[in-house]
């Protein structure tokens, strides 16, 4: 048994934040599942790098264009992505079955250009759900103002949702309550799973920049604390919502809690520990989706028992509150992060389609 299995024993599932076709056909993902990987997430940037940086997709792209010379880059990409997601879901199906549908999920994102379109998001999520046709699929929906009602409707319809691009406590509250409302509307909540993807590293990146702009010794000493503190407060709220009396009637109906998922856990600042967003965020009924480098780092030198998610919550609250003493509006930082996150995903999606178009022309 390795470190990833130890994490699972501590209550946390590790999902791989990466996908590429050659890892699916070679048995690499199967080996990672044996080592303790319990799910997989994707996004436009991951697919763009996978398609653009290797020849693993060239044969499939050529075949798609030969079958339909008028196929658009979007149609070609969708064919590639659906096949990859189906193969990944099949590789993780054993985890899904053995865990009684608690784990084993693969996430596919709706077009980020629908982030401000509730009806469009709902329609696209249903289309992708039916197209992939796997019970262990999760549809990723951003936690924008328009995404929140879409999350509720999709949960009510029995579609698994990965609510993404969450940076603030307001984001978490909105997503969690949308899930609760959707579960209450669902005919059979026992078949539904969802995670609330709370982004971590980017919070430190922007908060640290504001602390450095202040420049005082006290401000500089607070660098590298906001992201973990913010996450701990979100988990504290999770415990209140899902492990308290208010959700118990839905548990009796067979509903699952919506787990918090730590996203963006690769460390951006090389001065910080490369497991900074793993060790302090280990706790029961959580998920950490890690890029390969972070998984390797944790397996090499991470400590499963070094810190607990429920430790020092009062200190976490003080760390966030203290930002105001340095003239920093943390709510503004997290709001800007979400706007920038949506824009970054949209740009990545456009870059992805441009990469596919370039491959079509070259091949």
1 has a pLDDT exceeding 60: no
Q: What is the pLDDT of residue 270?
A: 94
Comparing 58-67, 196-205, 307-316, the range with the smallest average pLDDT is 307-316
Q: Reduce the secondary structure of the chain to three states and give it as a string.
A: CCHHHHHHHCCEEEEEECCCHHHHHCCHHHHHHHHCEEEEECCHHHHHHHHHCCCCCHHHHHHHHHHCCCCCHHHHHHHHHHHHHHHHHHHCHHHHHHCCCCCCEEEEECCHHHCCCHHHHHHHHHHHHHHHCCCCEEEEEECCCCHHHHHHHHHHCCCCEEEEEECCHHHHHHHHHHHHHHHHHCCCHHHCCEEEEEECHHHHHHHHHHHHHHCCHHHHCCCCCHHHHHHHHHHHHHHHHHCCHHHHHHHHCCCCCCEEEEECCCCCCCCCCCCCCCHHHCCCCEEEEECHHHHHHHHHHCCCCCCCCCCCHHHHHHHHHHHHHHCCCHHHHHHHHHHHHHHHHHHHHHHHHHHHHHHHHHC
**Phi, psi (degrees; rounded to nearest 5) at 290:** -115, 140
Provide the pLDDT for residue 339: 97
Token pair recorded at residue 245: 């009396």
- Which CB contacts under 8 angstroms, 24+ apart, belong to 70-79? 71/360, 73/353, 73/354, 73/356, 73/357, 73/360, 74/353, 76/356, 76/360, 77/47, 77/51, 77/352, 77/353, 77/356, 78/131
Average pLDDT over residues 63-79: 95
pLDDT at residue number 254: 97
pLDDT classification of 15: cutoffs 50, 70, 90: very high
Verify whether residue 48 is a known catalytic residue: no
Taking only the tens place, the pLDDT of each residue in 108-147 is 999 999 999 999 999 999 999 999 999 999 999 999 999 9
What does the pLDDT average to over 48-65? 93
Query: Residues of the chain with pLDDT > 90: what percent?
Result: 96
Report the distance separating Cα 198 and Cα 88, nearest Å: 23
* DSSP state for residue 72 in the 8-state scheme: -
Q: Return d(Cα 332, Cα 193) in angstroms, integer.
A: 31
Looking at residue 305, its pLDDT comes to 85
Q: Give the number of other CB atoms < 10 A from CB of residue 359.
A: 20
Q: Quote the pLDDT of residue 25.
A: 85
Name the residue ranges covered by the structural domains of the chain: 3-362
pLDDT digit string, tens, across residues 304-328 = 986 689 999 999 999 999 999 999 9
Measured CA to CA in angstroms, residue 151 lies from 126, 161, 290 at distances of: 12, 7, 24
pLDDT given at position 307: 63
Predicted confidence at residue 363, as pLDDT, reads: 85
Q: Which pLDDT value is given to residue 79?
A: 97
Residue 163's DSSP bridge partners are 141, 196
Residue 220 confidence (pLDDT): 98
Mean pLDDT of the chain: 96
pTM of the entire predicted model = 0.96
Query: Does residue 333 have a pLDDT over 80?
Result: yes
Q: What is the pLDDT of residue 54?
A: 87
Mean pLDDT, residues 341-354: 96
User: Which among 3, 48, 140, 338 is annotated as catalytic?
Assistant: 140
SS3 category, 105: strand
The pLDDT tens digits for 253-271 are 999 999 999 999 999 999 9
At the topology level, CATH places domain 3-362 in TIM Barrel (3.20.20)
């Amino acid at each position: 048994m390795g470190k990833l299995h130890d994490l699972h024993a501590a209550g946390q599932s590790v999902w791989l934040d990466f996908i590429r076709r050659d890892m699916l056909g070679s048995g690499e993902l199967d080996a990672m599942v044996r080592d303790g990987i319990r799910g997989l997430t994707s996004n436009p940037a991951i697919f763009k790098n996978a398609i653009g940086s290797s020849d693993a997709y060239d044969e499939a792209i050529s075949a798609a264009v030969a079958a339909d010379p008028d196929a658009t880059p979007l149609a070609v990409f969708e064919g590639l992505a659906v096949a990859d997601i189906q193969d990944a879901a099949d590789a993780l199906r054993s985890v899904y079955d053995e865990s009684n549908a608690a784990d084993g999920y693969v996430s596919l994102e709706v077009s980020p250009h629908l982030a401000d379109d509730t009806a469009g998001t709902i329609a696209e999520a249903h289309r992708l759900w039916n197209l992939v046709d796997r019970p262990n699929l999760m549809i990723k929906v951003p936690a924008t103002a328009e995404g929140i009602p879409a999350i509720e409707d999709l949960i009510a319809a029995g579609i698994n949702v990965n609510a993404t691009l969450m940076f603030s406590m307001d984001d978490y509250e909105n997503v969690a309550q949308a899930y609760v409302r959707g579960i209450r509307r669902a005919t059979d909540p026992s078949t539904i799973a969802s995670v609330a993807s709370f982004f971590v590293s980017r919070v430190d990146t922007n908060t640290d920049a504001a602390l450095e702009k202040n420049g005082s010794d006290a401000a500089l000493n607070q660098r590298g604390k906001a992201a973990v503190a913010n996450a701990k407060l979100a988990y504290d709220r999770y415990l209140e919502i899902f492990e308290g009396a208010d959700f118990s009637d839905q548990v009796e109906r067979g509903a699952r809690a919506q787990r918090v998922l730590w996203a963006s856990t690769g460390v951006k600042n090389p001065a910080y520990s490369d497991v900074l967003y793993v060790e302090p965020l280990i706790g029961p009924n959580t998920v950490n989706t890690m890029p390969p480098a972070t998984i390797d780092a944790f397996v090499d030198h991470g400590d499963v028992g070094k810190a607990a998610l429920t430790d020092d919550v009062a200190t976490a609250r003080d760390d966030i509150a203290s930002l105001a003493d340095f003239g920093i509006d943390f709510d503004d930082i997290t709001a800007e992060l979400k706007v920038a996150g949506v824009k970054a995903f949209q740009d990545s999606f456009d870059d992805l389609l441009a990469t596919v178009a370039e491959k079509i022309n070259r091949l």
